């Protein structure tokens, strides 16, 4: 066993974990600032300079709140629900290529925790398991509002996973690979997949909104109908885990979208600047995070712009709108590459 690689991967794993939690924490701050800007308000501005300590204050508040478990709840499953939601959200990021290779001490190290040749399937597997965290939490609460919210979440996420998976099939036909690293490498320069799969991108983006339970697809926690949805009975950091998992999923979804459709860490014309390989790698990673932050802003912008769907509209869009469009996209892509191979 090469202990150097193991030590590097372990350190890199903790760095990615810290960055993920930090971005998710300050996404709550960014969300409030974006909402305040759109509603002509100031937003958080009391805790620290420009309100930058507000996420820390929220975290302390969550830890200090009384932890309540309903007497009629299934205690073990009640605790397991938010744990699954948080764990699956964090595990999704291990296959994302955060940059090219770094040269340290004459050796090259990948800026990817696990380069799986089925990276896309791994992402979908983690997303699918995340449904159990919501479903178990809602059922174990022994509350009809929480159960309704969990059922809504499960049916919504399963429905939109179908369209999301079909949109990826067309992308796989285009790239010929399931490895996220290979897909990024194929997009060097400005050969981004967004130009080859614009319809697939729109379908994937719409499904990403539904998968993360973000407005206008936030029916599982619709306050006007279900009080708080599947996490109605949760308090303290168990509620914090559910809320935090949503922002982690938003960050990871933005990273996956940037990886699949916007070239990942590829920065146009950077190779022509004559910089050292490590500098190119670090600049590419910084550019990748700019793309991620742009997608996160889009998530927030949509939330504070569009109203919530009715539930029948939500399901009709998934089954009667996005799935037929995804099948059409696969057909057109397949026909194009079939005739391309003939010629």
pLDDT digits (tens, 9 = 90+) for 4-25: 888 888 888 899 999 999 999 9
Residues 260 and 193 sit within 8 Å (Cβ to Cβ) = yes
pLDDT digits (tens, 9 = 90+) for 284-305: 999 999 999 999 999 999 988 8
> Over 70: is that where the pLDDT of 226 sits?
no
From CA 81, how far away is CA 43, in angstroms rounded?
A: 32
pLDDT digits (tens, 9 = 90+) for 82-137: 999 999 988 988 999 999 888 887 788 888 888 888 889 999 888 888 888 888 99
pLDDT at 101: 86
- CA nearest to 159, candidates 225, 93, 203, 100: 203
Torsion sign over Cα 143, 78, 233, 131:
negative
How is residue 99 written in tokens? 């940059």
Confidence of residue 164 (pLDDT cuts 50, 70, 90): very high
From CA 113, how far away is CA 95, in angstroms rounded?
A: 6
> Over 90: is that where the pLDDT of 231 sits?
no
Q: What is the DSSP letter of 48?
A: S
pTM, full prediction: 0.92
From CA 328, how far away is CA 175, in angstroms rounded?
A: 18
Half-sphere exposure (CA, 13 Å, Cβ side) for 150? 27
Confidence of residue 219 (pLDDT cuts 50, 70, 90): confident
pLDDT at 5: 82
Confidence of residue 223 (pLDDT cuts 50, 70, 90): low
Residue 64 sits at φ, ψ, to 5 deg, of: -85, -15
Residues 232 and 205 sit within 8 Å (Cβ to Cβ) = no
- Treating both helix axes as pointing N-terminal to C-terminal, what angle do 75-91 and 236-261 enclose, rounded to 10 degrees? 30
């Amino acid at each position: 066993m090469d202990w150097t690689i193991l030590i590097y991967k372990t350190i890199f794993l903790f760095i990615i974990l810290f960055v993920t939690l930090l971005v998710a924490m300050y996404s709550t701050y960014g969300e409030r600032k974006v909402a305040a800007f759109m509603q002509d308000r100031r937003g958080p501005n009391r805790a620290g300079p420009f309100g930058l300590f507000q996420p820390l204050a929220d975290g302390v508040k969550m830890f200090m709140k009384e932890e309540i478990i309903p007497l009629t709840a299934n205690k073990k499953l009640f605790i397991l629900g938010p744990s699954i939601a948080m764990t699956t959200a964090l595990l999704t990021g291990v296959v994302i290529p955060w940059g090219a290779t770094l040269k340290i001490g004459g050796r090259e190290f990948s800026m990817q925790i696990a380069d799986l040749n089925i990276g896309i399937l791994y992402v979908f597997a983690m997303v699918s398991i995340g449904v159990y965290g919501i479903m178990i939490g809602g059922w174990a609460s022994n509350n009809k509002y929480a159960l309704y919210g969990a059922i809504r979440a499960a049916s919504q996420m399963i429905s939109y996973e179908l369209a999301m998976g079909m949109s990826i099939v067309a992308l796989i036909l285009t790239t010929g690979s399931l490895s996220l690293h290979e897909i990024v490498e194929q997009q060097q320069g400005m050969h981004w997949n967004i130009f080859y799969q614009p319809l697939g991108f729109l379908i994937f983006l719409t499904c990403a909104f539904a998968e993360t339970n973000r407005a206008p697809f936030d029916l599982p926690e619709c306050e006007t109908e279900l009080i708080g949805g599947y996490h109605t009975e949760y308090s303290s950091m168990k509620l914090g885990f559910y809320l935090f998992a949503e922002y982690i999923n938003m960050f990871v979804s933005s990273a996956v979208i940037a990886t699949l459709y916007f070239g990942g860490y590829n920065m146009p014309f950077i190779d022509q600047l004559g910089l050292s390989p490590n500098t190119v790698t670090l600049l590419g990673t910084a550019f990748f995070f700019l793309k991620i932050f742009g997608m996160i802003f889009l998530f927030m912008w949509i939330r504070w712009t569009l109203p919530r769907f009715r539930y029948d509209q939500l399901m009709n869009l998934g089954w009667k709108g996005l799935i037929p469009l995804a099948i059409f996209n696969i057909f057109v892509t397949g026909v194009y590459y079939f005739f391309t191979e003939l010629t």
